[in-house]
Chains A and B, each alone.
Chain A
Amino acid sequence: MNKITSPRTKAYRFICTIILILLALMFLFPLYWIVTGAFKPGADIWSVKPVWWPSEWTMQNFENLLNKRSSPLFEITIPFSRYFTESGKNIVLFQGPTAPAAYRWLINTVFMAVAAMILTCITATFAGYALAKKRFRGRGILFGLIVCAMALPKQVILIPLLKEISFLELYDNIWAVIFPTVGWPFGVFLMKQFSESIPGEILESSRIDGASELKTFTTIVVPMVKPGIGALAIFTFINSWNDYFLQLLMLTSNANFTLPLGIATLQGETSVDMGLLMAGAALSALPIIIVFLIFQKYFTKGITMGAVKG
Chain B
Amino acid sequence: MANGANHKLSRTLQRREDATGYLFMLPSLIFFVGFVIIPMFICIFMSLTNANMHASKEVSFIGLQNFVKLAKDKEFLAALKNTFIIVLVSVPVVCLFSLWVASVIYNYNGFALSAFRCIFYLPVVTGSVAVTAVWKWMYDNYSGIFNIVLKETGIIEKNINWLGNSDYALWCIILILLTTSVGQPIVLYVSALGNVDQTLVEAAKVDGATDTQVFWRIKWAQMMPTTLYILVITTINSFQCFALIQLLTKGGAGTNTVMYYIYYTAFKLTEQTGHFGYANAMGVVLAIFIGLLSAVQFKLAQEK
Contact = CB atoms under 8 A, between A and B. Distances in A.
A76 interface: no
B interface SS class: helix
Given A45-B143, A49-B152, A156 B283 contact: yes
B21 A241 contact: no
A289 B133 contact: no
A interface SS class: helix
A126 interface: yes
Interface in A92-120: 119
Given A158-B262, A183-B34, A127 B28 contact: yes
A171 B166 CA distance: 37
Interface string B109-145: 0000010111111110111111111111110101101
B243 interface: yes
Interface stretch (A9-17, A54-62, A67-75, A78-86): A9-17
A262 to B, nearest CB: 9
A127 B39 contact: no
A34 B128 CA distance: 13
Contacts of B27: 122-123, 126-127
Interface in A259-300: 260-261, 263-264, 267-268, 271, 274, 277-278, 280-282, 284-285, 288-289, 292-293, 296, 300
A158 to B, nearest CB: 6
Interface residues of B, number: 102
Contact of B123 (A27, A123, A217): A27
A256 B14 CA distance: 48
A130 interface: yes
B263 interface: yes
Nearest to B126: A285
Contacts of B125: 238, 242, 285, 288-289, 292
Interface in B275-304: 276, 279-280, 283-284, 286-287, 290-291, 294
B129 A284 contact: yes
B17 interface: yes
B67 interface: no
A152 B21 contact: no
A130 B131 CA distance: 39
A149 B32 contact: yes
Contacts of B173: none
Contacts of B23: 213
Nearest to B287: A156
A63 interface: no
Nearest to B152: A50
Interface residues of A, number: 104
A50 B262 contact: no
B222 interface: no
Contact of B127 (A127, A164, A244): A244
Interface in B13-71: 14, 17-29, 31-32, 34-40, 42-43, 46
A154 B240 CA distance: 8
A182 B24 contact: no
B9 interface: yes
Contacts of A304: 187-188, 191
B273 to A, nearest CB: 15
A28 B210 CA distance: 35
Nearest to B44: A160
A157 B35 CA distance: 9
14 contacts: A16-B104, A24-B120, A31-B134, A136-B19, A151-B236, A151-B290, A155-B283, A157-B283, A159-B276, A180-B36, A182-B31, A185-B32, A284-B130, A306-B229
Interface of A: 1, 5, 9, 13, 16-17, 20, 23-24, 27-28, 30-31, 33-34, 37, 45-50, 119, 122-124, 126-127, 129-137, 139, 142, 145-146, 148-161, 163-164, 179-180, 182-185, 187-188, 196, 199-201, 204, 213, 217, 238, 241-242, 244-245, 248, 260-261, 263-264, 267-268, 271, 274, 277-278, 280-282, 284-285, 288-289, 292-293, 296, 300, 303-304, 306-307, 309
Given A135-B21, A151-B232, A153-B290, 6 more contacts: A132-B1, A153-B259, A161-B39, A179-B35, A242-B125, A285-B130
Q: Which 3 A-B pairs have the closest CB atoms?
A: A200-B2, A136-B21, A183-B35
